[in-house]
Structure 1
Amino acid sequence: MHRRTFLASLTGLVVAGPAAAQMKHDMGRMSGHGNHTMPVTSTLPVLPEGQPLQALPRLSNQSAVPGIFKAELAAEPGVVRFAEGIDTPVLLYNGTNPVIEAHEGDRVEISFRNGIPGQPTTIHWHGMPVPADQDGNPADPVVSGGERVYAFELPEGSAASYWFHPHPHGLTAEQVYRGLAGIFLVKPKDDPIPAEYGDTVLMLTDLRIAPDGTIPESTMTDFMNGRVGDHLLVNGQKNPQMAVALGEKRRLRLYNVTNARFLRLKFENASMTLIGTDGGLIEAPIAIDELLLTPAERVDLIVSFDKPGAAKLITLEYERGWMGPGKPDEAGKILLTANVSDEPAAATPPLPAKLRAIESLGKPVVTRRFVLTETMGGMNHGSMSMQGMDHATMSMPSDSMGMKFLINGASFDMDRIDEVSKAGQVELWEVINEADMDHPFHVHGTQFQVVEHEKDGKVTTPSYRAWKDTVNVVAGETVRILLRQDLPGPRMYHCHILEHEQLGMMGTVDVQA
């Protein structure tokens, strides 16, 4: 669908984005809606900057048995003070955004409780090779007040930077932007990266906050483009700082856990070496000047701080496609500042020239095509289950009900199987983006290898082999990936702009034994 056709349906949209959300919020407050009585202010909260970088808390292992990680996890309302004197109601896991750290070969048992009032939820173990009935997909919700146990093995070779988040259909986007996310770090038995480099987790989120500290609901522009917040945060902090010595090398793991923000990043006054992607280490270190981290993607970096002074992790401009008003200014934001002293760092071992071997998946036996499109028009009520429709209706503005993002012309149906596959079968997937904006494409249950990109008749191949579970598909581009599902059961594939997933850009492949 052409951009001008799509935008022609938006003539009634005058104010959108953060401004519209704020206006809606303030008007509700002034009218007494929702029993709010505190006075309305017009000044947006100022988030403090430059505080010391805080590590995300580790979830403690309750098992004393080697090779078993056991813990309790609850999703429930909480309060965070992002700005001085203002409390923000959020959703959290155990009151925070925890890190689960385990090792390949371990057995994991997580006792989960849904403490979110009035909403179902799940835990999706993003990128992890877990059985289908442990994947936390939308068809397997945990009701409000309900409990379940997620249990799975971490196979050999699964060491990587994973994360976890809710995945209830129609509520995923809201529960994530309100705070539900955590890190799952699977360590190898023998790590080739020198321990002297450390291992720092940087969880990248964004936040939209109203004058009274509450998080405004999403608007039509949010659903159309994906929700982009006003503040970029690292481990819940705005532009935190860390102290490093001159010449120090740090291992930094970056996680983009935003709903829809595309992050084109570079380090000023420091050099970056890529050592890993979504599914773990790549084969050999690669020096890079910048990187693009789309929603749900992760990178594992070694950053060398070879110049004294401030080394800043900053955003660069990236045109991913934007519809309607309210396009955010993406460039020039500072995510993190490293203060490099004049004192030289202690000598550290060099990076090994080879990190791991990644074998090609080989020749595919099946080719599948997935065409991504967008449309406006009346909502097809038969395209969702009644439960899914109710959740979607509750969580989106009425104006957005005619907006759809489709795969192969179809909107997601929880009761429909879109593709049938076989466990252990190598497949070539062609993901073709005929929409007007980029879409990061995610597949549950496995890691894949990107084979090539094609746009305007030009074919390019990746300069290195890597395991991925999310790949950006630029508007007008075809991306070809090789994948193999080793565990049977239903698996989702979808755009990881969470609002687009919610408006239909998701499907199900049934992997048969």
Structure 2
Amino acid sequence: MHRRTFLMAGLATLAAGSQASAQMKMDDMNAMPGMDHSAHGMPGKPPASLMLKQGEALRDLPRLANESAEAGLFRARLTPAPATARFVDGVETPVLAYNGMTPGPLIEAFEGDRIEIDFTNDIPGEDSTIHWHGMPVPAEQDGNPMDPVVAGASRRYAFDLPAGSAASYWFHPHPHGKTAEQVYRGLAGIFLVKPKADPVPSAYGDTVLVFTDLRLAADGSIPENSMMDLMNGRVGDHVLVNGQKTPALDVPLGAKRRFRLFNATNARFLKLSFGAATMTVIGTDGGLLEAPVAVGDVLLAPAERLELVVSFDRPGEVKLETLAYERGWMGPGKPDDSGLTLLTVNVASEAGEPMPPLPEKLRTIAALGNATVNRRFVFTEKMGMGANGMEMGFFINDVAFDMKRVDVTARVGEVELWEVINKADMDHPFHVHGTQFQVIEHERDGKVSPPAYRAWKDTVNVARGETVRLLLKQDLPGQRMYHCHILEHEQLGMMGIVDVTV
């Protein structure tokens, strides 16, 4: 039987059996929820009785206050705990939040700063961590699943921000077997590392746009993952921006705005356009590009970040909208992600202050050089009947994640070429902890193409049938993760450990 047919046949068998279960390919997780065909169990079908508040002014994410008076030291506290949010008037939704905020808070620090975050896990009965996504932190500070903070316990995360680390990072939990749930329940925050001197004109502002998605049951609660969520990754019914549905932003005519885009969803791919407004990419996961690049649209895979400068040269409404993108889907309930309005920018008829030009050169990104080690990582998924019923898993090099197994051993400072090959039925965004890498080429259907620009990245989308080649080196020793950043797939086994030695 053809492999794609096998997957679909397996899904049909599962849907037909009321007692069918699935076994996750992880060392300590067992049965998955069954198929749910209710309105809130399928993406794109929100309960009709729940109408989210829309059109409010775009809010800034609250800043995490620095409790230190010492220059160059940022010290604060972060506590994940149950909280409530009001997405719908008169309805309280139970969530998880850092310091009562979801999404958020936003941490802002500078290159060269010392960071000390006192973390207390107040999630009842669950381990948690903080993973500083993309940040150059020591392995023991990285919030890996091998280093959990049990419920009720505390620890301090402490690290220094080296020169050249200015970028748009974010943080989220990474506990073994609970990452997906803790993120979709609300745990995600932003970490901006600023340079001492920024080449982007300050007149453009610095606006953070964090994309999350939300699914609500009829009673306003957040339902658990269904079988479809586990297969495809959880896609909610509503895309939120800074926790709001279709917020609005007012700008004067002729304004140029700097936007930092963060895809903090579990599994949603966002192909985005500002319509007729001119978009220029100035940065990616690991900070600024060497030079600005004009674009018509951008693709933001789960966990990716982009910095844009958008020029608003015509009065009236400008909408940040989603465009169609085929990321692959197994089974029924495929969401239609095209034509969603995420943000409305109201451009005034009166001009504001003249805007300075964007510099032609932003910084220099040195090439990593020739690799001394080549590695291959092949993504596959499997589903079939086993001793415990329907079994499924997502794999790298034909093995599922085992927290007690080291998959790769690398050396500090050694440049490696990684070939990431996607033989699965959908796109998979690939993330490496502890470093930023440079994509050098894409290959699909026999066609090899270079990236549009040189950039530092920690997450790259690997499309179905595609091979992505990237160069990386780890500068700090210790165990690091590499995994698909569709969080449900990570939990179903698509993750490995690289042990970096001196």
Q: Residue 59 of structure 2 corresponds to which residue in structure 1?
A: 54
Question: Whole-Å Cα distance in 2 between the matches of residues 44 and 171 of structure 1?
Answer: 30
Q: Residue 507 of structure 1 corresponds to which residue in structure 2?
A: 496
Tell me how far 1:43 sits from its aligned partner.
4.2
Please give the residue correspondences for 1:25-424 in structure 2 after superposition, counting only pairs within 5 Å.
43-96=48-101, 97-377=104-384, 402-424=391-413
- What SS does the aligned partner of 1:10 have? helix
Question: Whole-Å Cα distance in 2 between the matches of residues 379 and 267 of structure 1?
Answer: 48
Tell me how far 1:21 sits from its aligned partner.
6.8
Q: Residue 448 of structure 2 corresponds to which residue in structure 1?
A: 459
Question: Structure 1 segments of 4 or more deviating over 4 A?
Answer: 13-19
- What SS does the aligned partner of 1:303 have? strand
TM normalised by structure 1 equals 0.91
Q: Residue 469 of structure 1 corresponds to which residue in structure 2?
A: 458
- What SS does the aligned partner of 1:499 have? helix
Query: Quick one: which amino acid aligns to residue 263 of structure 1?
Result: L
Question: Whole-Å Cα distance in 1 between the matches of residues 299 and 433 of structure 2?
Answer: 21
Check if 1:432 corresponds to 2:421. Answer: yes
Unaligned runs of 5+ in 1: 25-40, 381-397
Check if 1:4 corresponds to 2:5. Answer: yes
Tell me how far 1:44 sits from its aligned partner.
3.6
| Contact 1:21 1:217 (8 Å CA) reproduced | no
- What SS does the aligned partner of 2:186 have? coil
The superposition leaves residues 118-158 of structure 1 with CA deviations (integer Å, 9 ceiling, x where unpaired) of 10000000000000000000100000001000000000000
The superposition leaves residues 293-333 of structure 1 with CA deviations (integer Å, 9 ceiling, x where unpaired) of 00000000101111110000000010000000000011000
Query: Quick one: which amino acid aligns to residue 371 of structure 1?
Result: V
Question: Whole-Å Cα distance in 1 between the matches of residues 458 and 312 of structure 2?
Answer: 30
RMSD of aligned residue pairs (Cα, Å): 1.7
Question: Whole-Å Cα distance in 2 between the matches of residues 378 and 125 of structure 1?
Answer: 38
Judging by fraction of residues, say which structure has more helix.
Answer: 1
Q: Residue 30 of structure 2 corresponds to which residue in structure 1?
A: none
| Contact 1:2 1:436 (8 Å CA) reproduced | no
Tell me how far 1:6 sits from its aligned partner.
1.2
Question: Whole-Å Cα distance in 2 between the matches of residues 216 and 379 of structure 1?
Answer: 28
Change (3 A) 1:18 1:402: closer
| Contact 2:170 2:188 (8 Å CA) reproduced | yes
TM normalised by structure 2 equals 0.93
- My pick for the range that moved more, 346-355 or 154-163, is 346-355
| Contact 2:377 2:421 (8 Å CA) reproduced | yes
Question: Whole-Å Cα distance in 2 between the matches of residues 313 and 276 of structure 1?
Answer: 18
| Contact 2:47 2:216 (8 Å CA) reproduced | no
Q: Residue 469 of structure 2 corresponds to which residue in structure 1?
A: 480
| Contact 1:44 1:209 (8 Å CA) reproduced | no
Aligned residues: 479
The superposition leaves residues 67-108 of structure 1 with CA deviations (integer Å, 9 ceiling, x where unpaired) of 110001100001000001000000000000200000011010
Check if 1:494 corresponds to 2:495. Answer: no
Identity %: 65
The superposition leaves residues 364-400 of structure 1 with CA deviations (integer Å, 9 ceiling, x where unpaired) of 00000000000013679xxxxxxxxxxxxxxxxx97x
| Contact 1:308 1:342 (8 Å CA) reproduced | yes
Question: Whole-Å Cα distance in 2 between the matches of residues 169 and 378 of structure 1?
Answer: 25
Tell me how far 1:17 sits from its aligned partner.
7.7
